[in-house]
């Protein structure tokens, strides 16, 4: 299992939110490009860059994401407001390794299937989950189906992975939702990336033991609850 630092972009800064709430921002760093470079210097080879403003219709941080893609030597997965094949193609041309799709991919399965056939293995579907229900549109809408229902349907699509975020644990340093991630890993044919609440090396080891391919970590790295260099060394591959 590998660990992937999160670089969440909001209003030109790198931020961390608690519980998926825009009103509860706990970390704000004004130079996202330097933050991304710092994670690479610490030993990480892959980054998770998300434009929170684009995801919620509050604007975008496209220029910053582009700078990170062009100037940071890492495999980067990029998401946030990606809703068209043209945008996917542009991000890949700018240097993204994978594109992370959320709302439209989950709300329009036919669009996802067609798009994935054009970009096989390059798309990661990100499902934000609150108590096993999928939430979309910046956590404002709750879908009727559960995450396990969605995983069954995603198994037939040529994806590069599935990212599951336990929004009810996000940013709280209270530990991952291990039972949720275990169930998803058992059902999914795609590599599963876990996110939300990861706060210790023990959390990471438990996820690895259950077949999770990667973990996106934010708050624990930004607050120093996890030692970045030690984590990068243990979870480099």
- Annotated catalytic, 128? yes
Tell me the CA distances in angstroms from 65 to 43, 100, 107, 126, 195, one per residue in order.
20, 13, 25, 18, 21
How large a percentage of the chain has pLDDT more than 90?
A: 78
- Annotated catalytic, 51? no
Of the residues 8, 53, 177, 203, only one is catalytic, namely 8
Tell me the CA distances in angstroms from 85 to 91, 106, 123, 156, one per residue in order.
10, 15, 11, 20
**Quick one: tokens of 228?**
């970045």
Sequence-ordered list of residues with C-beta below 8 angstroms from that of 137, at least 6 positions apart, any chain:
56, 103
**Is a pLDDT exceeding 60 seen at residue 97?**
yes
**Is a pLDDT exceeding 80 seen at residue 113?**
yes
Of the residues 128, 177, 183, 203, only one is catalytic, namely 128
First to last CA, the chain: 6
Res 175: pLDDT: 77
**Is a pLDDT exceeding 90 seen at residue 134?**
no
**Is a pLDDT exceeding 90 seen at residue 24?**
no
Res 231: pLDDT: 98
Interval 223-237: pLDDT, tens:
999 999 999 999 986
Q: List for the chain the helix, strand, coil content (%; round to 5).
A: 35, 30, 35
Determine contact, residues 54/61, Cβ cutoff 8 Å. yes
Higher-pLDDT residue of 27, 25: 27
Ordered domains of the chain (ranges, CATH): 2-234 (3.20.20.70)
**Quick one: tokens of 86?**
């043209």
pTM of the model: 0.94
Mean local confidence (pLDDT), 173-185: 88
Interval 148-175: pLDDT, tens:
999 999 999 999 999 999 876 555 556 7
């Amino acid at each position: 299992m590998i660990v992937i630092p999160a670089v969440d972009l909001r209003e030109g800064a790198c931020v961390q939110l608690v519980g998926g709430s825009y009103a509860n921002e706990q970390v704000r760093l004004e130079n996202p490009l330097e933050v991304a470079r710092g994670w690479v210097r610490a030993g990480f080879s892959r980054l998770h860059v998300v434009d929170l403003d684009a995801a919620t219709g509050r604007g975008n941080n496209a220029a910053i994401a582009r700078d990170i893609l062009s100037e940071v030597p890492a495999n980067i997965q990029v998401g946030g407001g990606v809703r068209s094949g043209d945008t996917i193609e542009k991000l890949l041309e700018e240097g993204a390794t994978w594109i992370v799709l959320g709302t439209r991919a989950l709300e329009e399965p036919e669009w996802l299937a067609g798009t994935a056939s054009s970009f096989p293995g390059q798309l990661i579907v990100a499902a934000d989950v609150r108590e096993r229900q999928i939430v979309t549109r910046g956590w404002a809408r709750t879908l009727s189906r559960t995450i396990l229902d969605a995983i069954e349907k995603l198994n037939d699509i040529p994806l590069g992975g599935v990212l599951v975020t336990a929004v009810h644990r996000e940013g709280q340093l209270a530990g991952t939702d291990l039972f949720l991630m275990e169930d998803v890993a058992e059902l999914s044919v795609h590599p599963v990336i876990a996110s939300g609440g990861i706060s210790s090396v023990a959390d990471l080891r438990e996820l690895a033991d259950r077949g999770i391919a990667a973990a996106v970590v934010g708050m624990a790295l930004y607050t120093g609850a996890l030692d970045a260099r030690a984590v990068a060394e243990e979870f480099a591959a």
